[in-house]
Amino acid sequence: MSGPIAPAGDAFILFGASGDLSRKKLLPALYELTTEGRLEMPVIGVANSDWDDKDFVERTKLAVTEYFGADTDVEALHRLCKRLRYVAGEYDDPETWVRLGKLTQDAKTPVAFLAIPPVLFDDVVRGMAEVGLAEHSRVVVEKPFGRDLASAKELNATLHEFLDEPQIYRIDHFLGKEPVQNLLVFRFANSLLESVWNRNHIASVTITMAESFGLEGRGRFYDEVGTIRDVVQNHLLQLVALLTMEPPASRDEDAFVDEKVKVFRAMRPVEPANVVRGQVEGYRKEPGVDQDSNTETFVAMKIEVDSWRWSGVPFYIRAGKSLAETVTEAVVEFQQPPRMLFSDEVHPPEPSRLRFRMKPDDSITLTMQAKVPGNEMVSRAIDMSVEDNEQHGQSTENAYQRLLADALIGEKRLFTRQDGVEEAWRIIDPLLHGPAAELPLYRAGTWGPPEARRFLPEGFGPA
């Protein structure tokens, strides 16, 4: 049973309209919604850049054509541009809000996206409240949701001064990706998994988010964040929750989020002894990076979900930049049979594994044992794979398009909630405030420092 139907949004306000996130992701997503007839409302950009409506239109055209190239639907882009308006000004200037209030005076359910630094949230939500925009609005907040547990609580308090929790949509674009959605369906639409999806049959779970490329000009940002804050606290802990959560009692959005929060509450804070951080050689020479930086570009860790279903199962996480491959995947390793009947020294058995790969392709692979052809009764590993060939390599609905569409209709299932955000920070908070030990270095194109090998199951893939 679902909750009451939320009113549809009738105006979209983009704070930070002149920033990189808007150009690279949000304006293309709004264009895609326009092509599908799901954006029939004014779009108002707000920023301190000295633009007018015409400038905003031209920047939108440039952003969309850069993203889609020759595939751009000119007529749809024209429809979007006709809806664009722009308000120039500082967020602490009352005149900015007077101008915005005039443009949104007829909106009953405005949807505002805060593509701005968190330090500006207070000015924006306060200004929205002063012109009557906050009371019935939905406010989409882009990660990061703080820098640690204390700042996350402070940020939530700022938002709650003018907004109720149901109005706040904390966006983690990772949850909107098609392969992540596929993982969720695979888990809960196939009942054969339920009987083996527990500590009695699963030996370990290994989650990898590796990038073969480096900072790509984001040195200043990355040096203030690091791998743990950038992808572990949000993307990868969310992935652990999707793999381990209990089936929701209903399709209601709160029922779905409740189960994820239960997983976070069952996780112990990560002990520093269960973590290896590393820094790629040459990192300190990158533009924008402090020459004495101790920011990690790689992390491997072991975490535990201390629940009835998962107690005792290690969850290994590794993530980083300038590694050997670009790959995002979760590998579930099953327990070995009690006796190895069909093995010898030449053909050592491998455990059965279920691999959910999200990047570079969208595939699910089950590795099992089968007989080696010939006279001997020995086994070998074989893979049974399913790939989404229909969508692989094609332009599919991107994460921001899906999540913006959900925000416009009031669907919160793929967004994070205050208690979940704070629990995720609690899990990794001990790693953020300990003594700053010198990080081991690793060469670009490898799998991180050798010390990280101990956080992978025996025989697990490349390292």
* CA–CA dist 363, 343 (Å, integer): 29
Nearest residue to 381 (alpha-carbon basis) of 335, 348, 425: 348
Note whether 462 and 447 are within 8 A (CB).
Answer: yes
Which amino acid does the sequence have at 237? L
Of 173, 235, 347, 392, the catalytic one is 235
Note whether 432 and 275 are within 8 A (CB).
Answer: no
Specify burial of residue 1 (Cβ count, 10 A radius: 0-12, 13-18, 19+).
exposed
Which amino acid does the sequence have at 88? A
* CA–CA dist 145, 238 (Å, integer): 14
Query: For the chain, how many residues are written?
Result: 463
419: number of Cβ within 10 Å: 16
Is the preceding omega at residue 144 within 30 degrees of 0, hence cis?
Answer: yes
Based on the residue annotation, tell me whether 235 is a catalytic residue of this protein.
Answer: yes
Which amino acid does the sequence have at 190? N
- What is the torsional sign of CA 89, 92, 93, 95? positive
Complete DSSP assignment for 231-262? IIIIIIHHHHHHHHPPPPSSS-HHHHHHHHHH
Ramachandran region, residue 146 (left: φ > 0; alpha: ψ -120 to 50; beta: rest): left
- 3-state DSSP of 2-43: CCCCCCCCCEEEEECCCCHHHHHHHHHHHHHHHHCCCCCCCE
Note whether 128 and 162 are within 8 A (CB).
Answer: yes
Query: CA dist 288 to 133, 284, 439, Å?
Result: 38, 9, 19
Nearest residue to 253 (alpha-carbon basis) of 5, 6, 3: 3
* CA–CA dist 205, 355 (Å, integer): 10
Can you give the C-alpha Rg of the chain in angstroms? Answer: 24
- Which residues are marked as active site? 235
